[in-house]
Amino acid sequence: MNPIPESELILNPDGSIYHLNLRPDDIGDIIITVGDPDRVDSVTKYFDQIHLSKQKREFKTVTGSLADKTITVISTGIGTDNIDIVLNELDALVNIDLQTRVIKTELKKLNIIRIGTSGIIVPDIPVDSFLISRYAIGLEGLLDNYNYESNLISHEKNYAVVSCSPTLYKHFNIDPFLSGITLTAAGFYGPQGRNIRLQARIEKSLVAFEDYSNNDFRVTNLEMETAGIYGLGALLGHECISLNALLANRKLGQFSSQAEKTTEKLIELALERISKL
């Protein structure tokens, strides 16, 4: 197999991967992704030990141990453009020999768990609920840049419909988690149908999904990363799941009065389940 050119797989002078500034030994097999770099510490404060802490740009990484498991928490920033960087570079760390630039013959599978916030787009789910994205629909077009064939990815209504890991779903699908289909948008305002001073055009597209269902799951919420994680994870062979703290109800015009408390509770719920993986 030919080595991957330096222009395609970029390494820093110290041999670390370009954007994340990480080496293969810096990460565990369990990866928690969060959007906000400040949220990394909100997760790792529960760890028994911290082994490594690095940051480059918006990508803050802390690896530590919890219940004898090595876990890496990394901030992705906002949006699937950053997810494209994070998923590809995490995969390169475990599945490419960075010295020879050759793909390994035995590929490693990571467990990637998103802990994030989201907005509800149905009237009957209250704010401060917790939801697993059983499926995600990418409105932002990331997967259109890849050739994909996977039983976890389909194409409907001109959008990619992607699945979480069935194995991780079975593990995390306990009370108080709800389940639904998550729409992943390309931005926060117009791409999610918010009207501030500019009139959004996406509202008609959102309405088109109001009656959509997949295996009895309905469209429930809207955010900016999940479809990218699920799609790239499926193509690269990793197990992925997205756990959401639902902080806004767009239908009712409501926002949580205890957003930090709800997000903290989601972190606690997620770590309790992760410790039993």
The pLDDT tens digits of the residues spanning 29-49 come to 999 999 999 999 999 999 999
> Is the whole model's pTM more than 0.85, yes or no?
yes
- pLDDT for 164 equals 97
Strand segments, DSSP code E, in the chain are 30-34, 49-56, 59-66, 69-75, 96-97, 102-103, 111-120, 129-138, 153-156, 159-163, 177-184, 213-214, 217-223, 239-249, 254-255
Alpha carbons 56 and 74: distance in angstroms, whole number? 11
- pLDDT for 151 equals 67
State yes or no: pLDDT of 154 exceeds 90: no
State yes or no: pLDDT of 191 exceeds 80: yes
Instruction: Tell me the domain boundaries of the chain.
Output: 24-274
Alpha carbons 215 and 85: distance in angstroms, whole number? 31
Lowest mean pLDDT among 84-98, 102-116, 195-209: 195-209
- pLDDT for 210 equals 81
**pLDDT tens-place string over residues 106-128:** 999 999 999 999 999 999 999 99
- Of 145, 139, 39, nearest to 85 by C-alpha is 145
- pLDDT for 158 equals 77
State yes or no: pLDDT of 21 exceeds 70: yes
State yes or no: pLDDT of 150 exceeds 90: no
- Top CATH class of 24-274 equals alpha beta
Q: Mean pLDDT, the chain, as a whole number? A: 94
- pLDDT for 1 equals 79
Q: How confident is the model at residue 205 (pLDDT cuts 50, 70, 90)?
A: low
- pLDDT for 156 equals 72
**C-alpha distances out from residue 98 to 3, 20, 56, 220, Å:** 10, 14, 19, 41
Angle subtended by helix axes 259-274 and 37-44, to nearest 10: 50
- pLDDT for 34 equals 98
